[in-house]
Chains A and B, each alone.
Chain A
C-alpha cells in the first residue's frame, strides 16, 4: 500500500475520529458554499481525501471542476501547485524551472512539483489529456510512489494528493491516458451540470459566482490539516470492520464484474460474455474497499456495508474495466448499465 511507505508527519497516538468526522462534515459544507448542487461529487472527493487516493475529474467545460479543486485545496491547506497540460509540456517542465537570471546566466530552480517541498498537499494537473505520454509516466511515479528524482536526489511528498481533470469535449491533440495511469487514480468522477432548477438559477444569476477568487477566499482554510490526513486515513481503515459476509460480497462483485455472463448479468443490446476484455485490477479492489471503509466512517458506522461499496463503486471501478473494442465506443452507457446490473444481480448478503 502506498501509504505504508510514508513516514508519518505526526505522532499517531490516539486519533479523535469522531472529531475528524465533524471536521469532514464541515469540509463538505464549506465546499458546498463554493460549488453548489454537487453534493455527491463533494462526498466522493472527501472520501478520496481520507482514503488518500488521487482523483481524476471529468466533465464538460465550465461545470466547476477547477473551482471544486481549488476550494478543496484551500480547505485542506498546505501547498497547492497546478500545471496546465499542453501538447509541448515535457516532464522537465514539471520539476525544473529554467530561466535567465538578472546576471544574465541561465539558472535552473525547482519547478512546480518541487517548489513547495514536502509540504505539497495537492497537485492539480489541469487538462491532463493534453499532455504527452512522457508527462503521464512522470505523473505515474509521482502518484504511485509519491516521489520524484531531481537534482540527483529523491524528493518525497508524503502528503501529496494528485487531482487531475480532463474535459470531454475535444479529442484533437489529446493523448488518452494509458491504462496504467488510469488505474492509479482512486476515483474518476464525472461532473455534470446540476439538474435541479433552483440550483441552475442560482448558478446563472447569483453574483457570488462571478469572482472565483473571492468565492474560494470565503472558504475557511485548513479545515482538514493536510499533514494529519495520512494518520487519520490509516486510523479509519483500522477502525472500520469488514465482516466475512461483506468480504464475500465484494469478492462476488469482483468476480461478477470481470465475468458478467457467468454471474447471470444481462444488458439489453450487449453480449455480456464478450463484454469485459480486462480490468478490475487487485489494486482497484483494494482502492474500492478503502473508499468503502471511508464512506462507512463518514456515515458514522464502524462496519462497512454493501451500500458503502455501491456508493463508491462506479467512480472507483468503472475506469478500471476495459471493454472489448466494439463496446468501448459507448463506454459510458455500457459501464453504467453493467454496474447497475451488477448490484441488481449479486446477492446481498
Chain B
C-alpha cells in the first residue's frame, strides 16, 4: 500500500517537473502602509515557467499613468534559467499621487500577463496590492495658523560636491602647464623670448657719426672704420675678415645689394690699417660715404 502511494507520488512529481506553463508566482511587495503623495513603491514579481516559455511583451503593463492616481514609472523584465525552469523577474516601480483626506487603503489592481509556451498561451495573474496612504497635511491647516508659505517647505538645495582635492589638482596642473609653456617658449624662442636681435648697424650709425665728428687728423676716420668693423663682427657672430664677405652676404641677404659699397669699405679699411695708407683709404671711401654706408646697412637691418 505504502509502495503504491510512493509510486503515485513519483509519477505526479515527474509529471509536475516536466510541465510547461506557469508553475508558480511569487511576489515581493513593499510595506503596505506609510505612503504619502508622490512616494514610489517597488514590486518584484517572479514568475516561474517551463524552460522554453516566455512572457509576451505586449501583455506587460504599460509604463505611464495607470489610473487617475497611479503611475507606473518603470518596468524591468529579466529572465534566467534554473534547472528545467525559467524564472522571469518583473520589477515594477509605481508612484502614487493619491491625496487622501484621512488614512485610506488603496489598491493597485491585479493585472494579467500572457505566458507563451510551446503548447500554447497561458495567463498569469499578478496579484493586487493594497497599501495604506496617509495625508501629509491637515485638511484645514489655516485653522492652526499655517499658510501655504509655512506648510510648503522650500525645495532642498542641490547637494554641493566636495571639490577641494580636484581644485588643488587642477591648480597644480595649471601651474605646471604654465611653467612648461614658459620653458617651451624659451626653447623655441617664442614671445617674449624672441627678443629682437641686437641691431649692430643701428648702433654703428651713431658711433660712426660721433667718431667722424670728434676725431681730427684721421683718428676719427680710423675709429669710425673700427665702429663699423665691430658692427660687422656682431652681425656675423664672429670676427669678419674681408675674405669672409661672401659667406656673410650669403647669410645676410638683406645686405647683398650693397655688396660693392661693403667691398669698398673693406678695401679702405685694409689700406688704412694694414697698408699704412690713410689717404688712399679716405679717397677710396670718403667719410661721408662711410656714414652713408652705415645708414644704409642700418636701414637694411631694420627692414630684414
Contact = CB atoms under 8 A, between A and B. Distances in A.
Contacts of A243: 273-276
Chain A, interface residues (CB within 8 Å), range: 20 to 34
Given A349-B269, A349-B273, A344 B242 contact: no
A304 interface: yes
Interface string B216-250: 00000000001001100100011111110000000
Contact of A306 (B233, B241, B275, B276): B241
Contacts of B233: 347
A28 B224 CA distance: 40
B274 A304 contact: yes
A343 B270 contact: no
A243 B274 CA distance: 5
A305 B239 contact: no
Contacts of A242: 274
Q: Considering the complex of A and B, which 8 residue pairs feature the smallest CB-CB distances, nearest first?
A: A344-B238, A349-B273, A245-B273, A307-B243, A303-B275, A243-B276, A243-B274, A305-B274
Interface of B: 226, 229-230, 233, 237-243, 269-270, 273-276
A348 B276 CA distance: 15
Given A306-B241, A347-B239, 16 more contacts: A241-B275, A241-B276, A242-B274, A243-B273, A243-B276, A245-B274, A305-B241, A305-B242, A305-B270, A307-B241, A344-B237, A347-B229, A348-B229, A348-B239, A348-B240, A348-B241
A17 interface: no
B229 A349 contact: yes
A303 B267 CA distance: 12
B226 A349 contact: yes
Interface in A208-257: 241-246
Contacts of A347: 229-230, 233, 239
B239 A346 contact: yes
A345 B276 CA distance: 24
B258 to A, nearest CB: 20
Nearest to B276: A243
Contacts of A306: 241, 274
A66 B239 CA distance: 37
A346 B239 CA distance: 7
A90 to B, nearest CB: 48
A246 B239 contact: no
A310 interface: yes
Contacts of B241: 305-307, 310, 343, 348
Interface string A298-315: 000011111100100000
- Which of A302, A304, A347 has most chain B Cβ within 10 Å? A347
A307 B238 CA distance: 14
Contact of B242 (A303, A307, A343): A307
Contacts of B276: 241, 243-244, 303
Nearest to A342: B239
Contacts of B242: 305, 307
A345 B274 contact: no
Contacts of A343: 238-239, 241
Contacts of B240: 348
Contacts of B269: 349
Contacts of B270: 303, 305
A246 B238 CA distance: 18
A193 B179 CA distance: 51
A345 B239 contact: yes
Contacts of A302: 275
A346 B238 CA distance: 9
A312 to B, nearest CB: 13
Greatest chain A CB density within 10 A among B239, B242, B243 is at B239
A303 B229 CA distance: 19
Interface string A307-349: 1001000000000000000000000000000000001111111
10 contacts: A242-B274, A245-B273, A246-B274, A303-B270, A303-B275, A305-B241, A306-B241, A344-B239, A347-B239, A349-B273
